[in-house]
A and B are shown apart, each in its own frame.
Chain A
Amino acid sequence: MSFNEQKRIINHPILENVVSEIIHFYFEGKKYEAKRGEMLSSALIANGIEIFSYHQRDNSPQGIFCANGQCAQCTVLVNGIAVKSCMTSVERGMIVEPLVGAPSLPEDNKIIKVIKTPEIKVDVLIIGAGPSGLQAALTLADYGAKVLLIDDKDRLGGKLLLQTHKFFGSVKDSFAGTRGIEIAALLEKQINLKPNIEVWLSSPAISVFSDKYVGVLKEEKYVLIKPKKLLVATGAREKMLAFPGNTLPGVYGAGAFQTLVNRDLIKSSDKIFIVGGGNVGIIAGYHAIQAGIEVIGLVEALPKCGAYKVHEDKLRRLGVPIYTSHTIVAAHGGDHVDSVTIGKIDENFKLIKGTERTFKVDTILIAIGLDPVDEFYIKAKESEMEVWAAGDAHEIAEASSAMFSGKIRGMEIAISLGLTEETVPVEWIEKSNVLKSKPGLVIKREKPHVFEEIYPVIHCNQEIPCNPCISVCPNDLIVIPKGGLLGLPEYHKQDAVECIGCAKCVAICPGLAITLVDYREDSNNPKVTIPTEIFEQRVEEGEEILVVDKEENDLGTYKVVRTRILGNFPKTQLVTIQLPKEIATEAISFKKEQTEKITPIELYEGVIPDEAIICRCERVTAKEIRVLIKEGVRDANEIKALTRAGMGACGAKTCTALIDRIFREEGVSRDEYTSFTLRPLFMEVPLKHFLCSNEEDE
């Protein structure tokens, strides 16, 4: 397959596809093309290879799962050595083979030199260079602290690198209105200007020890770091769901999907189904559509989606069916997902029989929430180190809140180092709390009753921490009357100053929920300006588009009279149409064509949830675990001894929460059973890395 025929996103409304060099590699003896330096897992998927290996225990097909170096499901053999394909850059001539059964150790009998592990002392070690870690490093650097910032990826930014959407939150403190990827670039620039921040990329922490050392693999060489202060900013991992078919290639987390699509520009799928209606799931759906991937539907177990209303509305307006009070029943397929069955659930989350529906899809995204990656924090606490946690590692919240939490932790650490006499400003703590706020009630807005001049119509009707429209207005005409960051913004015309129609508020709104209505030329047929950032909807003047209101009701087809893109907002197209004044303030978006009605294919019945895999690494089913709990087992370690659940390569990162859930389902409360004993290492590490010698030097 030539590069151009691969499953790659060539045109994306936000992201640019930079191809520096095309190289060749081999998989199962066949030659394939890849982008130099991209992750092997992405190169494989781009070439249509979804099955990387077969599980040693039951030969089940294995594909991408976390895309984040946390599990080991994407393991393949590279030049004879088993590696995680999501953490291995593809190189010229690489020989890649699927792993079938246990790997053989390569016959490399060369004796290598052993060097004493280097030990390094630092003021502050920050593990994780995502939104909170970066902000903490910058804050600490401002107070003159010497900071070592490490990250397991090869770029700064953490999950910001996956976020192509504009951020909510506050413009002043957390870059609201700017896209995640742009924030990462801004912060990276600032970090590089600070001489007292040392950055180690591709350097995962592998353990925090009781003697207060942190073991780090600095580009594959083991180093022990003794920090005076430790900040754990390791982010979150995705929660998994147990359902039949849950380990089929094609079932993975929304974060993994965003990694493939937004970071690596891989068109991983044609048709996806999303499980979970929080911000993560809803935004993943939006990202999919931007990448030209069809979203067949989204299920949310609760009667209402937890996502910000504006995000949800954006997805609904794009014609994505959102099934609330529904759950996934099963994923189907021989060696890859080919369909999904969903069903309605009652108020006790029990499936209502007969409501199951099955859709053809090739990918199922699990976006049911996040768990903090807090193992290092807990371990450091036990070891009596001076440790803080920031961002998701501390508390799951939006990235805007993570940045603020990083700032606060940074200042707290600076205080503890005696670098400042100041205290953390009360406003910071207040703001950080506001940024963590769950979305508030949906409030009905009054319809504008003025049919003259020009003004923005602000459609958002749910209180969320967000204010870019207020900051961007050159005449300060948009305000939150009740003050703070949480209230609904309103347009307040003042006597001397009025809206100049700059449309910046339209372009900046992360929810695409502001339009500009202009009655000045024709008060009966005002011009309405609508933002769009979906690539396939980029429209031309004179084109006819189907205009919709907030609830996705069709308002009729109208001709585009003008399109433009503002200098500071290059990825948002502003589309102007002329509408009858009765509907001018209702219009919020448009569709280019009527979305085909998506219909279920056939009914699946009688699925046994007991067959769901709980421990992916060791292929342990829900039934095996449930039987033991029913027998009276009250120690997860006993379950581990008997079934091997939790003994696998990932270190029980996925199954722990699922086993907790089975205990709950069996009526065993948290204080009635013992959890897994956690041990180093955080990930599998080749022994040679601990020897610190450089083979090439010999």
Chain B
Amino acid sequence: MSRNYDVIIIGAGSIGVPIALALAQKGVEVGVIEELSSVGQGQNKKAIGGIRATHTAPAKIRLCSRSIEIFSTWKEKYGDDIEWFSGGYVFVAYTEELEKLMKDNLVIQREAELNISWVDKDRIVELVPGIAEEGLRGGTYSPEDGNASPLLSINAFYRKSKEYGVKYLFNESVIEIRLENNKVSKVITTKNEYETRCIVNAAGANAKEIGALVGLELPIFPDSHESGISEPVKKFIEPLVVDLRQGRGTSNFYFYQNAEGKFILCLTPDPIIPGKDERDTSVFLPQVAERIVLLIPKTKHLKMRRTWRGLYPMTPDGSPIVGKVKDIDGYINAVGLCGQGYMLGPGLGELIARIVTNDLSENDNSILEEFSLYRDFGSVEKLK
């Protein structure tokens, strides 16, 4: 069976689904090819659900600000509860060095008109009751950031996009992208062939392999982060808390308490674990237990329910690669989201739709310049 689509999106995850929705809302006929059996089964369901605009890269700030608008108004607009909660983000500082880093970032963030400020130790203790106070110097607090359920939001976007006519093609893998005179003409999968003039690579951790099908070398290097979820307990912490200290075998650690009261915990292994092996190892549980119990001692009685490992498709500078590429007409990247696909997704979806329909604003152009495949990857984003 062969079919024509205006646009074919590869990947039905945090990025592909919002793109499909934004395009379909503009009347574009979209097909989404996904090798797994339903939406969000790749990295979306591994995401813990934090959503913040308080980055330091201006393009991320803009896209995530738009994402927050979409997440926070979704229920009111469409009725589905995606568990958006505007609990804010707290970065805690226990060392002078981290205090300085955060305060330096504040200058950039305040310039971008973000609602974020330095708060003292007492305020942190108020925001994060039960936090270990010894050595705590204060931290940053951005009350407009928040969290939502990745599972519920992607399903809400998916269902809405189907109402607008998006076709999802599950259990199919792309094996070839055919070009004619350097123009995209056909996508061949394990099951079918589709004719299209435009494809969007939204393949997440597999984006590099998809890029290679058209001869692109995408600098994307997935590494593993590990997460866990607890039993539900009465909610006592509202913000998502980030602790950037070094631990034994870990660097960044962050968590929040979701709408049901479950703790969702995530850490970055140190050294990083490169590659795409997502199988769990024996290392994570003692590490995550140590991080959370040292930070909030009373969580020692909290029961851990499930753990998993997810991939951050990293780029050398920690920012995504978005936009058209030279010499291939009709191919668009929406890749290298560096573990922030879930929070960037809705904003990015609309941007990609504007690329396809040619309504880019000046603002959009500056974002695309920042996320260009052809940029200098030498400078590193500070809060990646």
Contact = CB atoms under 8 A, between A and B. Distances in A.
B39 A691 contact: no
Contacts of B154: 641
B297 A56 contact: no
Interface stretch (B92-100, B214-222, B232-240): B232-240
Main secondary structure of the interface of A (DSSP, over half): loop
Interface stretch (A258-266, A331-339, A463-471, A632-640): A632-640
Given A210-B279, A641-B151, A679-B280, A686 B130 contact: no
28 contacts: A81-B301, A102-B260, A105-B301, A108-B300, A109-B130, A116-B286, A207-B285, A382-B279, A635-B38, A638-B37, A638-B38, A638-B41, A641-B151, A642-B151, A642-B155, A649-B231, A649-B305, A674-B37, A679-B307, A684-B305, A685-B285, A686-B300, A687-B292, A687-B301, A687-B302, A688-B289, A688-B301, A690-B290
Interface in A170-197: none
A222 B293 CA distance: 15
B307 A680 contact: yes
Interface of B: 36-41, 45, 130, 132, 151-152, 154-155, 170, 230-236, 260-261, 277, 279-283, 285-286, 289-290, 292-294, 297-308
A105 B283 CA distance: 26
Contacts of B308: 679
A507 B57 CA distance: 84
Contact of B236 (A105, A215, A651): A105
B280 A210 contact: yes
A111 B280 contact: no
A594 interface: no
B233 A637 contact: no
Contacts of A22: none
A673 B306 contact: no
A679 B227 CA distance: 11
A692 to B, nearest CB: 8
B232 A56 contact: yes
A8 B313 CA distance: 61
A146 B359 CA distance: 72
Q: Chain A, interface size: which category?
A: 35 or more
Given A106-B301, A641-B155, A685-B304, A690 B38 contact: no
Contact of B234 (A104, A116, A213, A687): A104
A680 B306 contact: yes
A218 to B, nearest CB: 14
Interface of A: 56, 81-82, 101-112, 114, 116-117, 207, 209-211, 213, 215, 222, 224, 382-383, 633-635, 637-638, 640-642, 649, 651, 673-674, 679-681, 684-688, 690-692
B38 A681 contact: no
A95 to B, nearest CB: 15
A104 B129 CA distance: 13
A686 B279 contact: no
A70 B212 CA distance: 47
Nearest to B260: A102
A620 to B, nearest CB: 14
A190 B255 CA distance: 50
Contact of A111 (B297, B306, B307): B297
A635 B301 CA distance: 34
A455 to B, nearest CB: 63
A104 B230 CA distance: 13
B224 to A, nearest CB: 12
Contact of A691 (B41, B230, B290): B290
Nearest to A641: B151
A230 B232 CA distance: 34
Given A103-B234, A210-B281, A111 B305 contact: no
Nearest to B130: A109
Given A210-B281, A674-B37, A691 B303 contact: no
Given A109-B297, A638-B38, A684 B304 contact: yes
Contact of A215 (B231, B232, B285, B299): B285
Given A103-B234, A637-B38, A690-B285, A111 B132 contact: yes
